[in-house]
Amino acid sequence: MHITVIGTGYVGLVAGAGLADFGMDVICVDKDASKIEMLRQGRLPFFEPGLKELVDRHTANSRLSFSTDLRSAVEQSLVIFLGVGTPSDSNGGVDLSFIYEAAKEIAISLNDYRVIVTKSTVPVGTNRKIKAIIDQHKKQDVEVDIVSNPEFLREGSAVEDFMRPNRVVLGSDSSRALAIVKDIYRPLYLIETPFVLTGLETAELIKYASNAFLATKISFINEVANLCEKVGANVLDVARAMGLDRRIGPKFLHPGPGFGGSCFPKDTEAFVRIGHDFGSPVRITEAVMEVNRLQRQHMTEKVTNALEGNIRDKKICVLGLAFKPNTSDTRESAAIYLIKDLLALGAIVSAYDPAAIEEFQRCFPEMQIDYCQNPYDAATGSHAVVVMTEWNEFRNLDLERLKTQMTRPVLVDTRNIYDPAKVMALGFYYDCIGRMSCPSTS
Ligand SMILES: NC(=O)c1ccc[n+]([C@@H]2O[C@H](COP(=O)([O-])OP(=O)(O)OC[C@H]3O[C@@H](n4cnc5c(N)ncnc54)[C@H](O)[C@@H]3O)[C@@H](O)[C@H]2O)c1
């Protein structure tokens, strides 16, 4: 079966390569000609473990190709996956211009029956709007069906998540379209992946409700961590004991500097907007966003407190710029908010990240940051080191070496990757999240 995937970002490229692996003939289309050129040369526009091997394998066997020519791709494909971006707009809603632009381009290219599968995260009602736009702009009298197929992959393990998802959600009014898409996902049936077949609105809402719930767990444990700091409790023990209750589960109970990334911040915001628009506010999610904002501020307070309230002209070394390990994605990363605050307070900032420096530099050219080749260079002459992303590389730093290179031995560990007792035994001032006021037993 011939398939087009529109958008070669994290979702589109992983889906394109994954569908080629399922045996489909896939054309990945992007309007960004430089991305397509890179991909044609065998280079990926971002770092994602395992993706390069998959892309190389299926370009070599000609099941995967790249193009900027959407019309030609649509003419050849029975099914068109939409994986374009849906960023926040300036009013707290979702900017659907990429989706609607793609829908119009599909419409004018239609020459036969097609199934449009929306993988992008879109507010309730968007899939019906896509259908209306296509019906309005199509040049030939051909049928189109829409399937909402929200994507749940996690950056950093996107390939594995696409190939072995917890579930596949398919929302549609058309049994014909559902049968075609189920056929594409046949390899997942064979590994007994649960399928949720439902209507368009339900599928759209499942994605937002899922992300809002995960964000809720994070903000919840961050508040618990802050309370632990006040009452002399250890949040890691609290989280572990909570997670052992099967009704709660251990995942997403890791306190940290506040959630970031390309999904949770924008999807919680959009979920709040959807609730308002439909007259059914989602107040818990509103609180989750506010707690997250305060948690980011709390990280700046931790750094300034560590240096007696004055960081002007002090050199702060930030380790980790990506919003999480194993990705080069810096969208809404907690490091952005910390570095902005530090610079505004007059600090000098150095930084190191194993994969995200280039991307950070590209996105924030205005930020005066001394980017370094390794953690030790970044820490040289610093008054504090702040761990913002839990890359494995940071878990085993030679702390004695780090200390000799720093002006002051201050370590703020926003990911709780170090053992407080060990770090303090080396003579560091050490702060972390929710476990400093009593000894750790774990
Ligand atoms: N990144 C994730 O982890 C993740 C996970 C699940 C769902 N999602 C959702 O998937 C969607 C895509 O996210 P992403 O992170 O892959 O985005 P992205 O910004 O990395 O990529 C989007 C791509 O679409 C291209 N594009 C935009 N309009 C186009 C058009 N008309 N024709 C061709 N190409 C076009 C852009 O050039 C870009 O390369 C979003 O709705 C997002 O919320 C993302």
Instruction: Tell me the pLDDT tens digit for each residue of 79-134.
Output: 999 999 999 998 889 999 999 999 999 999 999 999 999 999 999 999 999 999 99
**Which CATH code is given to the segment(s) 210-431?**
3.40.50.720
Residues of the chain within CATH 3.40.50.720 domain(s) are 2-198, 210-431
Ligand 1 atom 18: the closest Cα is on which residue? 9
Q: Tell me the C-alpha distance between 174 and 172, whole Å.
A: 5
Ligand 1 site, residue 123, Cβ cutoff 6 A: no
Q: Is the CB of 8 under 6 A from ligand 1?
A: yes
Atom of ligand 1 nearest to the CA of 154: 3
SS3 assignment, position 27: strand
pLDDT digits (tens, 9 = 90+) for 355-406: 999 999 999 999 999 999 999 999 999 999 999 999 999 999 999 999 999 9
Query: In the predicted model, what is the mean pLDDT of residues 10-36?
Result: 98
Residue ID of nearest Cα to ligand 1 atom 12: 85
Single pTM value for the model: 0.95
Closest by Cα among 106, 101, 118, 100 to 75 = 106
Helix, strand, coil distribution of the chain in percent, nearest 5: 45, 15, 40
Q: For 403-434, how does the pLDDT look when each residue is reduced to its tens digit (9 = 90+)? A: 999 999 999 999 999 999 999 999 999 999 99
Q: Quick: pLDDT tens for 171-223.
A: 999 999 999 999 999 999 999 999 999 999 999 999 999 999 999 999 999 99
Distance (Å) from CA 429 to ligand 1 centroid: 42
| pLDDT attached to residue 16 | 98
Q: Which residue has the tokens 């909570």?
A: 242
> Among residues of the chain, what percentage have pLDDT more than 90?
98
pLDDT digits (tens, 9 = 90+) for 137-146: 999 999 999 9
- The neighbouring-strand residues paired with 171 are 148, 198
Q: Yes or no: is domain 2-198 CATH 3.40.50.720?
A: yes
Q: How far is Cα 81 from Cα 4, in angstroms, rounded to an integer?
A: 6
Residue 164 has what DSSP assignment? S
On average, the pLDDT of the chain sits at 96
What is the per-residue pLDDT for 436? 76
| Ligand 1 pocket check for 330: Cβ under 6 Å | no
Angstrom distance (rounded) from CA 148 to CA 118: 5
Whether the per-residue pLDDT at 300 is higher than 60: the answer is yes
* Single-letter residue type at 136: Q
Task: Kindly give the number of the ligand 1 atom that is closest to the alpha carbon of 46.
Answer: 20
In the predicted structure, residue 234 carries a pLDDT above the cut 90:
yes
DSSP 88: B
